[in-house]
Structure 1
Amino acid sequence: MKAKRISGSGDSESSDPIQDLETARQKIADLEGKNRELKLLLEMTTSHSDAVTAELQQDKEDLELIFETTINHADMLEEELQKKAEDAVKESERKLRLIVEATPVPILILRRAGNEIIYINGRVPILLNAEAERILGQGFDQYFAIEQELPTILADLDAEHSIDHRKAEIKTSDGGLSWVDMSLRTIMFDDEDCVLVALNDITDLVMFNIAASRFVPSEWLGFLQKSSIADLELGDHFSSDNMSVMFSDIRSFTDLSEEMSPAENFEFVNDYLRRVSPIITDHTGMIVKFLGDGIMAVFPEKATDAVDAGIASLHEVRDYNKFRKRNDLAAIQVGIGLNTGPMMIGMVGYDQRMQGDAFSDAVNLTSRVESLTKHYGASFLITADTKQSLVQVDRYDVRFVDRVRVVGKRQSLDLFEVFNADSRSQRQLKNETLETYQSAVDAFYQGEYEAAQSLLFAVLQRNPSDKVAWNRLLQATRALDEGLSAGSDVTVMSQK
Structure 2
Amino acid sequence: PLVQAFKGENATADDLEIRQGNKITPLEVWVTPIFDEKGNIAYAIAAFQDITDRKKAETERLKFTNELFELNQSFSRFVPRQFLQLLDKKSILDVKLGDQTQKEMSVLFSDIRDFTSLSEQLTTEENFKFINSYLSSMEPAIIENNGFIDKYIGDAIMALFSGSADDALKAGINMLQRLNQYNHNRSRVGYIPIKIGIGINTGSLMLGTVGGASRMDSTVISDTVNLASRLEELTKSYGVSLLISHYTFSHLKDANKYSLRVIDRLKVKGKSIAVSVYEVFDADLPEIREVKSATKTLFEQALLLYTLGAFSEAIKLFTTCLSQNPTDTVARIYQFRCQRKMRSLNRGIKH
Bin the TM-score by the shorter chain.
0.7 to 0.9
Of 380, 386, 408, the residue aligned with 2:248 is: 386
Question: What is the CA-CA distance between 1:482 and the residue it aligns to?
Answer: 2.1
Alignment match, 1:206: 69
Cα deviation digits, residues 421-476 of structure 1 (max 9, x gap): 11111101101111211221122223221111111111101111011111221222
Q: Secondary structure at the match of 1:249?
A: strand
Instruction: Give the Cα separation in 2 of the matches to 1:132 and 1:208.
Output: 33
RMSD between aligned alpha carbons? 2.6
- CA shift at 1:203, angstroms? 4.7
Q: Which amino acid aligns with 2:157?
A: I
In structure 1, what is the Cα distance between the partners aligned to 2:345 and 2:203? 37
| 2:122 corresponds to 1:257 | no
Match among 325, 329, 345 for residue 467 of structure 1:
329
Q: Check conservation: 2:263, 2:300, Cα contact below 8 A.
A: no
What are the within-5 Å matches in structure 2 for residues 405-424 of structure 1?
Answer: 405=267, 411-424=273-286
* Equivalent residue, structure 1, for 2:95: 232
Q: Which residue identity lines up with residue 378 of structure 1 in the other structure?
A: V
Residue 366 (1) aligns with residue 228 (2):
yes
User: Post-superposition shift, 1:378?
Assistant: 1.1
Aligned twin of 1:223: 86
How big is each residue's C-alpha offset from its partner over 1:137-161, in whole Å with a ceiling of 9 and x where there is no partner? Answer: xxxxxxxxxxxxxxxxxxxxxxxxx
SS of equivalent residue, structure 1 residue 342: strand
* One-letter code aligned to 1:252: D
The answer for the alignment partner of 2:318 in structure 1 is 456
* Whole-Å separation in 1 of the counterparts to 2:181 and 2:236: 21
CA distance in 1: counterparts of 2:92 and 2:67, whole angstroms: 13
SS in structure 2 of the partner of residue 483 of structure 1: helix
Out of 321, 342, 346, which is 1:480 matched to?
Answer: 342
Q: Who is 1:193 aligned against?
A: none
1:309 maps to a residue whose letter is A
Give secondary structure in 2 for the equivalent of 1:214: helix
Q: Determine if contact 1:437/1:469 at 8 Å carries over to the other structure.
A: yes
Give the Å deviation of 1:405. Answer: 2.5
Alignment-mate amino acid for residue 174 of structure 2: A
Amino acid at match of 2:315: Q
2:78 partner SS: coil
Alpha-carbon spacing, 1:451–1:433, altered in 2? closer, same or farther (3 Å): same
The 1:238/1:119 distance shift into structure 2, 3 A limit, reads: farther
What TM-score results when the alignment is normalised by the length of structure 2? Answer: 0.78
Name the CA shift for 1:119/1:206 in 2 (closer, same or farther; >3 Å).
farther
After superposition, residues 95-494 of structure 1 pair within 5 angstroms as 203-240=66-103, 242-405=104-267, 411-483=273-345
Instruction: Please report how far the alpha carbon of residue 404 of structure 1 lies from its aligned counterpart in structure 2 after TM superposition.
Output: 2.1
In 2, distance between residues paired with 1:477 and 1:119?
A: 95
Q: CA deviation at 1:211?
A: 1.8
Amino acid at match of 1:221: L
Task: Provide, for residues 195-253 of structure 1, a one-character-per-residue CA deviation record: whole Å limited to 9, x for no partner.
Answer: xxxxxx9554433211211111111121122222222211112211x210011000100
Partner of 1:55: none
User: Could you tell me whether the CA contact under 8 Å between 1:335 and 1:379 is conserved in 2?
Assistant: yes
Is residue 289–residue 356 contact of structure 1 (8 Å, CA) maintained in 2? no
CA shift, 1:409, in A, is 6.9
What TM-score, normalized by structure 1, do the two folds share? Answer: 0.56
Counterpart AA for 2:101: F
Cα deviation, residue 316, structure 1: 0.6
Inter-partner Cα distance in structure 2 for 1:453 and 1:119: 92
**What SS does the corresponding residue of 2:77 show, helix, strand or coil?**
coil
Q: 2 CA distance for matches of 1:274 and 1:348?
A: 28
- Of 224-233 and 253-262, deviating more is 224-233
Structure with the greater alpha carbon radius of gyration: 1
What CA distance in whole angstroms lies between the structure 1 residues aligned with 2:156 and 2:327?
26
Contact 1:212-1:229 within 8 A present in 2 as well: yes
**Partner of residue 86, structure 1:** none
Cα offsets for 1:352-388 (capped at 9, x unmatched): 2222211111111211111111001110000000000
Unaligned stretches of 5+ in structure 2? 1-9, 15-25, 31-54, 347-351
Give the deviation of 1:264 after TM superposition.
0.8
2:177 counterpart letter in structure 1 = H
Aligned pairs, number:
296
Give the whole-Å Cα distance in 2 for the aligned partners of 1:275 and 1:435.
Answer: 35
Please give the alpha-carbon distance, in whole angstroms, between the structure 2 residues aligned to 1:352 and 1:447: 57
Q: Which has the higher contact order (CA 8 A, sep 6+)?
A: 2
In 2, distance between residues paired with 1:359 and 1:286?
16
* Cα distance between partner residues in 2 of 1:131 and 1:361: 67
Aligned sequence identity (%): 39
Post-superposition Cα deviations, 1:248-290, rounded to whole Å, max 9, x if no partner, equal 0001001101111111111111110011012111111111100
Normalized per residue, the structure richer in strand is 2
State the alpha-carbon separation in 1 of the partners of residues 270 and 192 from structure 2.
36
Contact 1:368 1:406 in 2 (8 A): no
